[in-house]
Amino acid sequence: MGVMGRIFNKIHGLKPAMMMVTVQISLAGVNVFYKLAANDGMSLRVLVAYRFLFAAATVVPLALVVERKKRPKLTLMVLWQSFLCALFGGTITQNLYAQSLVLTSATFTSAMTNIIPAITFIMAIFFGLERLNLGATAGKAKVVGTVLGIVGAMLLTFYKGIEINLGSIHVDLLHESQHQGVHVATSHQKSINHILGPLLALASCFSYTFALIVQAKMSQKYPYHYSSTALISVMGSLQSVVFALCMERDWNQWKLGWNIRLLSVVYSGAIASGLMVTFIMWCVRMRGPLFVSVFNPLMLVLVAIAGCFLLNEKLHLGSVLGAMIIVCGLYVVLWGKGKEMKRIAQLMPSKGSRETEQQTDGAVAFPVENNKSINSSNIMGIAPNFLLTTANHDLDCVEEEQDEEEEEGKFNLSVNV
């Protein structure tokens, strides 16, 4: 019984890791299905619209069941923030990402998504949500990681290098499902795609980053994972459907038969955007956001392998080197953020104890509220790379109070002298 108990505990301890591997495999499959659906002639705008519809149909019932008793009333501010999150993090990002995926390759677009933490850091500084703090090790790490991400993205875009052959076994799904209306691109079109594709991928990263910043604010007012995700999915469905109806006039594009189109929208919507979100949220709650973020580069590896063996994509030295530099930059940024979060965890209790001593009642609610806002942020479930900005704000407050206390101590010392 003791041996079986230890085995059971070991398996239970590996459950978060196995779930995150499943998540990355599922997200890698989305890139493959996007390519296959687009190659079959399906409109990318319609594909994104259906994805949000299936995602909303999956997440909304889950939110109604799980959070039916603790969900507060919606406010106009929460609705507005969810609208912005769906617009920039859903409709705009997914349409740009899907178009970039078709113009470039699945490996390229997957690699570009790993620079989102670096872009988030830059935009957070611009909006005053982050401090550069080059005097601290964590601040230097975030700057170095950001620079590495930018360098890797530039290398991935502008340097091709020799072709790398991973093996002789290939299953060209694109050739087998080649649509009659799809023609071979000319050299002029390929040169345009080589410029337009990376620009669209970069634009999708910036759009997604802005949504993360808005969602960090939303999570403070509405810290309920499933309900906020369902709300964003519904908003994204409405926006994507309206956009697709305005841009796509061919009603045949909306028809779904028993083919790759139906499989693509069901998989990307119900599984990738629905079921996998709950897996991510569960892992964040059990192990924290950094644990989830560590698995993100696995999707890049899986997409590169699938692209070579299933989509007949050519893997070049520049892509490998650029992706490796981007992943290194990602881990450096995560290391800096992790070091910063540990510092917050060390400083916040001391702050609470000082305030407790000053209060006659002996009850201080501020540290508890901050911990709640950090732990209950739903932004981790949608973008594990991004760490909540309120934590940085709390760190700034703690440091400012410590500086004030040091100045007061020096002043009292000089008066006593």
Average pLDDT of the chain is 76
Q: 361 in a domain, yes or no?
A: no
pLDDT band, residue 262 (cuts 50/70/90): very high
Overall domain count for the chain: 1
**What is the mean pLDDT of the segment spanning 215-225?**
81
Q: 248 in a domain, yes or no?
A: yes
**What is the mean pLDDT of the segment spanning 50-55?**
94
**What is the mean pLDDT of the segment spanning 123-136?**
78
**What is the mean pLDDT of the segment spanning 138-159?**
85
Q: 168 in a domain, yes or no?
A: yes
> What is the structure's pLDDT at 377?
34
Q: 351 in a domain, yes or no?
A: no
pLDDT band, residue 52 (cuts 50/70/90): very high
Reduce the secondary structure of the chain to three states and give it as a string: CHHHHHHHHHHHHHHHHHHHHHHHHHHHHHHHHHHHHHHCCCCHHHHHHHHHHHHHHHHHHHHHHHCCCCCCCCCHHHHHHHHHHHHHHHHHHHHHHHHHHHHCCHHHHHHHHHHHHHHHHHHHHHCCCCCCCCCCHHHHHHHHHHHHHHHHHHHHHHCCCCEECCCCCCCCHHHHCCCCCCCCCCHHHHHHHHHHHHHHHHHHHHHHHHHHHHHHHHHHHCCCHHHHHHHHHHHHHHHHHHHHHHHCCCHHHHCCCCCHHHHHHHHHHHHHHHHHHHHHHHHHHHHCHHHHHHCHHHHHHHHHHHHHHHCCCCEEHHHHHHHHHHHHHHHHHHHHHHHHHHHHHHHHHHHHHHHHHHCCCCCCCHHHHHHHHHHCCCHHHHCCCCCCHHHHHHHHHHHHHHHHHHHHHHHHHHHHC
> What is the structure's pLDDT at 1?
52
Q: 93 in a domain, yes or no?
A: yes
Q: Would you say residue 287 has pLDDT above 90? A: no
**What is the mean pLDDT of the segment spanning 48-57?**
93
> What is the structure's pLDDT at 88?
93
Q: 412 in a domain, yes or no?
A: yes
Domain around 309: 17-339+366-416
**Chain segment 335-374, per-residue pLDDT in tens:** 887 888 787 777 765 544 444 444 434 333 323 333 333 3
Q: Would you say residue 410 has pLDDT above 70? A: no
**What is the mean pLDDT of the segment spanning 162-175?**
69
**Chain segment 84-100, per-residue pLDDT in tens:** 999 998 999 999 999 99
Q: 379 in a domain, yes or no?
A: yes
Q: 183 in a domain, yes or no?
A: yes
> What is the structure's pLDDT at 366?
29
